[in-house]
Structure 1
Amino acid sequence: MSEKTWTITRRTVLGLAAGALALGAAVTAPFGGAALAADPFKVGFVYVGPIGDHGWSYQHDQGRLAVEKQFGDKVKTTYVENVAEGADAERVINQLAQSGHDLIFTTSFGFMNPTAKVAKRYPNVKFEHATGYTRADNLATYAARFYEGRYPVGVIAGRMTKSNVIGYIAPFPIPEVVRGINAFTKGLHSVNPEADVKIIYVNAWYDPGKEREAAETLVAQGADVLVQHTDSAAAMQLAEEKGLTAFGQASDMRQFGPNAQATAIVDNWNDYYVARVQAAMDGTWKSEDTWGGLNTDMVHMADYGPKVPEEVKAEANAIIEKIKSGEFQIFAGPMKDNQGAVRVEEGKVASDKDLLSMDWYIEGIDAQLPKK
């Protein structure tokens, strides 16, 4: 963890411990001893990055703001940003639970174990963890099928590349990221089997410096299209500077690359957060696993950029509609990994269990999957 992240997290935890949960608060406490007739329902959010990352944490915070807009003074929201995965996360989550929050959303894969630990301590508090798989009576899980957006992105990249080299900036080799790389590569090779995907892991979700350095390295290796699963706009900005093509991650990044961005995979948490807060407030909340995709609008594609040809837009739109309807299955067999082993047999489709544990690259990726 960087010194900067520690400073922010440490101050936040101390502030929480002092009862000063001011970050993101929608309602302030009244002066005097009289309590409000109806205390607001308290909802907390824990973010791995800053809300200004214009990517993952930014989109989750847009969901928090949607909750505030929907419920007004019936709900009080709190957010804590720049929380490192591990012990710091457990302290922050624990303090949110201890300070009277009724529902807590933790929004990074590395928050899974800390969330589960705290949920055991506070059985009357409801918890929801994004992208994980550990559940309990008071702990639900949720995620979006981001990989559904990566297949049409691969198709667009395959049509638009001139160098046949695609640069892919990845954070960590976890199943969510590997699924995305595989889905992208399947889409790419469906229209351009000669294109090569070069992958660099930066071992961070949000680190503009590392992301920029990775993008520069990939461009030096011949990439004229940049794809990312990291959260800053650094790669998009570089693509704009150099006249390349890029794809936004988690949110629409066109402001950073008005000419470079072909489209973006946008994570839409607004409806989900509003619905889950409503359920928690009216007593219908239950622990469950939600995994929405293009067909539920948890994942949707940003408007196409000016460089995308009309015929490519039409091709991508047709594929998106087939994914939405279920007519097209991205991970249908036969599928081999890049070592030649059959992973999905002909006539079968990879199950959700298979997707959630995906730890192999598909045929056509000339790289070794790094160890976690």
Structure 2
Amino acid sequence: MSEEYRKALRRGERDLRRDTSAGIYPYLPALDSVLAPGDTAGEVRLGTMEIPLDMVAGTRTEGRQRSFSRTFMPVLAPTTEFAAKWSNLYAIQTTEGFRDPVKVYEYMHRFYVQEGNKRTSVMRYLGAYSIEAEVTRLLPKQWDAPERRLYGEFLEFWRAVPTYDIEFSREGSYRRLAALLGRDLVSPWSDEAVRELTSTYQYFRSLYQRAGGSHLDATCGDALLAYLSYFPDERLLDTPPSIVVERLGRLWSELALAGPREDVVLVSEPEAEPTSRGGVLSRLSYHTPYSPANPLRLAFLYERPLATSSWARAHDAGRLEVEKRFNGTVQTVAYDNCSSPDDFTAVVDAAVEQGVRVIFTCSPTLMANTAKAAIAHPEVHFLNCSCNLPHSRVRSYYGRMYEAKFVTGALAASFATNHRVGYQANVPMFGSVAEINAFAIGAALVDPKVKVRLVWSTRGGDSLYHRMANEGVTVMSGSDVTAPWDDPLALGLYQMVNGRVHNLALPVWNWGRYYDLIVQGLLNGSWQDSGDAARPQAVSYWYGMSSGVIGLSLSDDLPYYSRKLVDQLTHGIERGVLDPFAGELRSQAGVVQPAGSPRLRELDVVSMDWLNDNVEGILPANWHPVDETSLAGGLGGGLSAGGVTGEARP
């Protein structure tokens, strides 16, 4: 009996004891015991290929289950025939190598050995990365669960890039990886491109494990995708190992967030403000180190020039309001036209040099650059105006604009005479679908027969009313921030009367109030670290009408009962007794949740990917909320989908 078998046996016995004490089944899982009758929809023979050994999860049948630990180490006594055969196979592999491939079944991106369990065990003992195998794929019958959808995306990736090595835990990741590499998954990649990707992955994997990445929930593929999003412009294989490892150390918390957990904390209401008497300064905690002699310095970065961007000007007005309100305890500086990465980096470096310790970047398209700057300047607090773009080092802030849309939807239906209203959406980002649906639900509460005609704006396109003219729609919800090029009055909710725009209501942002709330928290010391590398959290402020950051501006000539309708609905939302996403919800495809259900979770509202049953229209092709990071630049993409653009959601 070889000494190597005894060493492998000791490892197997150790693994058995560890798993047993942890309450984990200590032997190999058998695929036949995992699958229930009818779980599969057929099989596909893929041929012979190299497969990663760490994806070999078990055996096909129960016969050899108890011969190995869960880690494929042997557990039978050294005196058995099994031990002699294992030792013989070890000698063959170390002298001449195995000649025949093992036979495996692949199911849901894991392999189960039909023939060759001992060979697999020997290779695992030797620390090999892969093993040659004849692979037969078993296709699942059902595809509606998240893990099944993710596997379906892997199959899409496989058709273009036939390699098993790379695995993700989040939907949309395979497409984002291809986009980062300047490719797609529509057509097969060349052999050279496949070799380049697999070499890159294996190089990164070795360094990731060296740096301790195995303690994170994220897969190595998740970590690679996050790494490439920060350093997309260089060839990883040309980057020295020391630099990669150093970067991994700085990106640890971001890599942890790349995994499957939902660690985005949505703060839906601000903390109660201090109620001490006196002026603004008396509202500050006596623990604050800031004063007019030692002010808190803030910087505001805008993507576009102030002269041409109404979105940037709205934020800048809020900046000036905050600076005035705190009477010298807070000082601010603004930088516009920061869209290019080089300009952004230069501005941040200059601001930090001037003593700025809090930086607001006022567009979701700036999140990628913001996250990189946060890594480079850990002494600075960064906030980005977006929702649900998870970064542990960057807090985000946005508004529950869907509440205002719910109210304007009800108002729109009260003015429509033909059960039809129009709705123009600007950018399909997180939260915007909730706004569409809230508008449609509000309209249906007033008129159960109403239909909401949804269109997506395009740069330089006609106004909404021009697009709706042939459909007989006269009441419309257009852009809330930027008027269309051909009619500066076509903002918010309006009605066409005798060919002229009659404004009814306009949802508004109160950025001065929003920045006041955030700055109060900073001055009062309520800003806490968002987590450590072991359990990081991404924090997103998502305030609404109750906190005063979202409101409605009504036309002076709005009829009395229309104004009363708005007041009643607004009051119900502000008190928390009215919510468009509570109770039964119906999408174009059917019931989303039954009657009597509580309101949707905040994360489900933010990432909504369905349209209400009275909406006539579709979401842009190939759009899904998990792609928001790429839409907003978080993974190198631009803020557009299917040609959709617009400054109202910058």
Q: Show CA shifts across 1:51-105 (max 9, x none).
A: 4678543332221011221234444322233544x74685466445544421111
Identity across the alignment (%): 26
Change (3 A) 1:141 1:346: same
1:300 to 1:233, Cα distance in 2 relative to 1, 3 A: same
Residue number in structure 2 paired with 1:247: 493
Aligned partners of 2:319 and 2:515 also within 8 Å: yes
1:18 aligns with none
Confirm whether residue 123 of structure 1 aligns to residue 378 of structure 2.
yes
Displacement of 1:159 in angstroms is 0.6
Structure 1: where are the runs of 5+ without partners? 1-36, 249-257
- Please list the CA deviations of residues 146-180 of structure 1 after superposition, one character each: whole Å capped at 9, or x if unmatched: 10011110011001123443222211112321111
Q: Contact 2:335–2:347 at 8 Å: present in 1 too?
A: no
Residue 145 of structure 1 and its aligned partner are, at CA, apart by 0.8
Q: Distance in 2 between matches of 1:218 and 1:268?
A: 31
Question: Is 2:541 the counterpart of 1:290?
Answer: yes
Once residues 193 and 89 of structure 1 are traced to their aligned partners in structure 2, the CA distance between those partners, rounded to angstroms, is: 51
Which of residues 587, 590, 593 in structure 2 aligns to 1:344?
A: 593
Secondary structure of 1:315's counterpart equals: helix
Using the alignment, how far apart are the partners of 1:198 and 1:215 within structure 2? Answer: 12
Instruction: Report the Cα offset of residue 294 of structure 1.
Output: 1.3
1:265 aligned to 2:511?
no
What's the secondary structure of 2:563's corresponding residue? helix
Separation of aligned partners in 2, 1:186 and 1:174:
20
Shift in Å, 1:139: 2.5
Whole-angstrom distance in 2 between the partners of 1:270 and 1:73: 16
Q: Compared with structure 1, are the counterparts of its residues 347 and 197 closer, same or farther at alpha carbon in structure 2 (3 Å cutoff)? A: same
**Following superposition of structure 1 onto structure 2, how do residues 128-139 of structure 1 map, counting pairs within 5 Å?**
128-134=383-389, 138-139=393-394
Say if 2:391 is the partner of 1:110.
no
Q: How far is 1:361 from its partner?
A: 0.7
Q: In the alignment, which residue of structure 1 is the partner of 2:472?
A: 222
Cα gap change, 1:231 to 1:118, in 2 (>3 Å): same
User: In the alignment, is the contact (CA less than 8 A) between 1:260 and 1:305 conserved in 2?
Assistant: no
Using the size of structure 1 for normalisation, the TM-score is 0.74
**Matches of residues 65-214 of structure 1 in structure 2 within 5 Å?**
65-84=320-339, 87=341, 90-91=344-345, 94-95=348-349, 98-100=352-354, 101-134=356-389, 138-202=393-457, 209-210=460-461, 212-214=462-464
User: CA 1:213 to 1:150, structure 2 compared with 1: closer, same or farther past 3 Å?
Assistant: closer
User: 1:42 aligned to 2:297?
Assistant: yes
Contact kept, 8 Å, 1:175 with 1:359, in 2: the verdict is no
Q: Counterpart in 1 of 2:585?
A: 335
Counterpart CA distance in 1 for 2:463 and 2:554 is: 28
Distance 1:335 1:198 in 2: 19
Give 1:270 deviation, angstroms.
Answer: 1.4
Partner SS state of residue 302, structure 1: strand
CA distance in 1, matches of 2:391, 2:605: 22
Structure 2: stretches of 5+ with no match in the other structure: 1-291, 495-499, 531-538, 624-640, 642-650
Instruction: Quote the Cα distance in structure 1 between the aligned partners of 2:303 and 2:481.
Output: 11
Which structure would you say has the larger Rg?
A: 2
CA distance in 1, matches of 2:350, 2:387: 20
Residue 216 (structure 1) shift: 2.2
Q: Secondary structure at the match of 2:370?
A: helix
Tell me the residue number matched to 1:363: 613
Work out the CA distance in 2 between the residues paired with 1:92 and 1:261.
Answer: 43
Bigger drift between 134-143 and 179-188 goes to 134-143
SS in structure 2 opposite 1:234? coil
Give the partner amino acid of 1:270.
G
1:365 and 1:279, CA in 2 relative to 1: closer, same or farther beyond 3 A?
Answer: closer
Q: Which residue of 1 aligns with 2:569?
A: 319
Shift of 1:50: 4.9
Question: Which residue matches 2:147?
Answer: none
Amino acid of the residue matched to residue 118 of structure 1?
A
Aligned residues of 1:152 and 1:184 also touching (Cα < 8 A): yes
Per the alignment, residue 3 of structure 1 pairs with none
Higher relative contact order (CA 8 A, sep 6+): 1
Measure, in 2, the Cα distance between the counterparts of 1:164 and 1:313: 20
Question: Secondary structure at 1:232's aligned position in 2?
Answer: coil
Q: 1:274 aligns with which of 516, 519, 522?
A: 516
The AA in structure 1 aligned to 2:385 is A
The amino acid that maps onto 1:78 is V
Deviates most, 70-79 or 170-179: 70-79
CA contact (8 A) 2:464 2:478 kept: no
Query: For the Cα contact (< 8 Å) 2:413–2:450, is it kept in 1?
Result: yes
- Structure 1 residues 277, 316: CA separation in 2 closer, same or farther (over 3 Å shift)? closer
Q: How does 1:48-63 map to 2 (within 5 A)?
A: 48-51=303-306, 56-63=311-318
Which deviations, in whole Å up to 9, do the C-alpha atoms of 1:244-277 show, x marking residues without a partner? Answer: x9528xxxxxxxxx97221211111213313433
Q: How many matched pairs?
A: 315
Once residues 216 and 74 of structure 1 are traced to their aligned partners in structure 2, the CA distance between those partners, rounded to angstroms, is 50
Alignment check: 8 A CA contact 1:167 1:226 kept: yes
Q: Secondary structure at the match of 1:260?
A: strand
Q: Secondary structure at the match of 1:343?
A: strand
- 1:28-57 CA-partner distances (Å, limit 9, x unpaired): xxxxxxxxx946543111234554678543
**Aligned match of 1:31:** none
